[in-house]
Chain A
């Protein structure tokens, strides 16, 4: 009951601002498109995505603030440090546009409120975006086409480019529009509910299963050593296979993931380590 009441209040708030909207749907679509095309374009160590952020929102600010001083203030508040994941982070963009519009009309929203909202949301959304878009959707779709590409198929090579945006761009666009439409209070409620966690869990299970499938297909680690047992020549590989098929590659994947998570070993060090290990074991004739 409480929740319903809250929603009603929020809806009334939204309706109140609805009547005085300055921005058109076209403005929103264009700004989202500018963003998704240039997310990492001007990324710098100093302020990461701040420059991209101010650039995509600047035409909107120009339309909202007719007074030059207000415009300067608005531009400057979006040049501060900003960094999130580009496909899920657009929820922030939608809310920000809604707040700027409200501010331009009523002048009641303080600077810090907009900046704090951006910095408050950018971390959690980067976490979801990295996990779901980059850690699950892209690897799964790529994995799906990888076996085709491994046989030289053009469909295999081009498939991920066509299929991935069906997911990531839809998510990004919808979250942008959602953020703009429902406002910050409802967003808080969505993020606090269990729905998001279910989506992440579903993606996580599917992702891990598919990574297992691909590891079995693509990681090759077969010792070429053989020895004599009761007059018969036996390869080490066949002995290992009789315990658990693919035990070496399976253990290797877990060893590396342990080194990254628990020992904080850098990925570049592991790459070099694998090269050295392979050269040595090749020299002594183990692999």
Chain B
């Protein structure tokens, strides 16, 4: 990776880290894979690695704004390493895990420092200074992100592939294979979290049906399977009408 490439990726990371366009899944490792592939010149392989990492983070939500892992940092660190060193996508998944957790630490630093801007806004509110409030809400938090993420992450992306390559050369075969095994198991976490988020015990059988149907009908694609899903959902709602548990609202 050249210095210029590392800087371009650093800018991309900062832009995504800012967090515009809420709910649009721009932090998805698949999309970040596309960005990295464009910069490093291998779009196809970068998206394949990104898709492997995506599966771990599928159902991640951030209750109270606390992110369980930073998918941006996970993808921006792991994908270039795997791409440049020609590693299996499953190994990339294992590399993504510690990077994503490191990202949580940085996110906490950011949210702690954001507290300063709230106090600034308190003062601006006393003076009815709307422009000041907007600066405290938009400009300063935005600059803060660039300040704490750009330099360390650009350096990590620049040196990461070389350093990891040296490490991989010196560690035993079973260790690398172990990372690959973990890469196969880790997606289970994303799916398990989605089950807990949906959180309704009585509809868990639908998960098992979806799983077994896919295992048996190996030549059926995901689109067709999702039509089955829609059908089950329709039947469920249709037949639970009038049932006492579906009566009444949420408050």
Contacts and interface: CB of A to CB of B under 8 A. Distances in A.
Interface pairs A-B: 8 shortest CB-CB? A212-B210, A220-B184, A282-B178, A55-B137, A152-B44, A135-B197, A278-B182, A216-B214
Contacts of B18: 41
9 contacts: A38-B138, A46-B115, A150-B51, A191-B249, A204-B200, A213-B210, A222-B184, A271-B189, A275-B94
Contact of A161 (B24, B55, B117): B24
A238 to B, nearest CB: 14
Q: Which one of B21, B28, B191, B225 has the greatest number of beta carbons of chain A within 10 Å?
A: B191
A165 B20 CA distance: 13
A157 B191 contact: no
Nearest to B120: A51
Interface in B175-212: 175, 177-179, 181-182, 184-200, 203-204, 206-212
Contacts of B55: 146, 214, 218
Interface residues of A, number: 127
Interface of A: 36-52, 54-55, 58-59, 62, 68, 71-72, 75-76, 79, 83, 86-87, 124, 126-128, 130-131, 133-136, 138-147, 149-154, 156-158, 160-161, 164-165, 168-169, 172, 188, 190-198, 200-222, 244-246, 249-250, 252-254, 256-257, 260-261, 267-268, 270-272, 274-275, 277-283, 287
Contacts of A217: 214, 222
B138 to A, nearest CB: 7
B214 A208 contact: no
A200 B97 CA distance: 31
B228 A209 contact: yes
Contacts of B194: 135, 139, 207-208, 211
Given A202-B236, A212-B214, A283 B174 contact: yes
Interface of B: 18-26, 28, 30-31, 33-34, 43-45, 47-48, 50-52, 54-55, 58-65, 68-69, 90, 94, 97, 100-101, 104, 108, 111-115, 117-118, 121-122, 125-128, 130, 133-134, 136-138, 141-142, 174-175, 177-179, 181-182, 184-200, 203-204, 206-216, 221-223, 225-226, 228-230, 232-234, 236-237, 240-241, 246-251
Contact of B207 (A37, A76, A192, A211): A211
B211 A216 contact: yes
Contacts of A279: 174-175, 178-179, 182
A209 B188 contact: no
Given A43-B114, A156-B47, A274-B185, A244 B212 contact: yes
Nearest to B68: A267
Contacts of A134: 23, 59, 61-62, 197
A221 B178 contact: no
Main secondary structure of the interface of B (DSSP, over half): helix
B111 A43 contact: yes
A201 B192 CA distance: 18
A55 to B, nearest CB: 3
A268 B65 contact: no
Contact of A208 (B34, B207, B213): B207
Contacts of B190: 139
B233 A54 contact: no
Contact of B192 (A42, A46, A260): A260
Given A40-B22, A152-B44, A168-B24, 8 more contacts: A36-B21, A45-B115, A55-B136, A71-B128, A138-B25, A149-B30, A216-B215, A278-B181
B230 A206 contact: yes
Given A46-B115, A219-B187, A135 B59 contact: yes
A13 to B, nearest CB: 21
A87 B234 CA distance: 24
A245 B82 CA distance: 31
A258 B34 CA distance: 35
Contact of A147 (B191, B221, B251): B221
A149 B237 contact: no
Given A45-B112, A157-B33, A157-B47, A211 B185 contact: no
A211 B195 contact: yes
A211 B178 contact: no
A192 B58 contact: no
A265 to B, nearest CB: 11
